């Protein structure tokens, strides 16, 4: 199984920017923890970060046929990007949206996620630990999909 983790704008600045909201942990540290969980569970994980909307759309589209699921933090594009929403919808695979902060406790313009409705689920407000929860969630989702496929195959052969 392969999970692609897509990080949106300014997440490369974690550990430096607004530590009162995002904490002191750097993106590289979050990715290292996610990679450790993936290795323990024999899952391939790939990381991508961009500040550019079109690059994020391209990477989501590239997941089609190459990945089993996506964990995404669209960051500020959560609230503005119909293009990212449409790309998530188009690939039709499990997608878990993650936010370090609770967007519903933030400014009013941040309290709307354009992408959430096309994601399998949303995790927010747990700080960097939210990425760990997203990994666990994605492993569960992919395990259930795999079990359902195996049951269908067994039913065909019966």
Q: How far is CA 99 from CA 41, 44, 134, 148, in A?
A: 23, 22, 10, 29
131 classed as catalytic: no
Catalytic residue chosen out of the listed positions 16, 22, 31, 131: 22
What are 34's two structure tokens?
């996610």
Catalytic residue chosen out of the listed positions 99, 104, 131, 132: 99
Residue 130 CB: number of other CB atoms within 10 A? 24
99 classed as catalytic: yes
CB 69 within 8 A of CB 46: no
Q: How far is CA 35 from CA 19, 28, 41, in A?
A: 23, 10, 10
Catalytic residues, which ones? 22, 99
């Amino acid at each position: 199984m392969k999970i692609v983790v897509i990080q949106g704008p300014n997440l490369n600045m974690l550990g430096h920017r607004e530590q009162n909201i995002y904490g002191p942990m750097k993106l590289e540290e979050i990715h290292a923890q996610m990679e450790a969980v993936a290795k323990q569970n024999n899952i391939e994980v790939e990381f991508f970060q961009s500040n550019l909307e079109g690059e994020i759309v391209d990477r989501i589209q590239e997941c089609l046929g190459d990945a089993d699921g996506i964990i995404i933090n669209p960051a500020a594009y959560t609230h503005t990007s119909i293009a990212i929403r449409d790309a998530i919808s188009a690939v039709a695979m499990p997608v878990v949206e993650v936010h370090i902060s609770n967007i519903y406790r933030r400014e009013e313009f941040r309290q709307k996620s354009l992408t959430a409705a096309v994601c399998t689920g949303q995790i927010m407000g747990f700080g960097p630990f939210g990425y760990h929860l997203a990994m666990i969630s994605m492993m569960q989702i992919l395990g259930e999909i795999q079990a359902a496929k195996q049951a269908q195959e067994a039913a065909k052969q019966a």
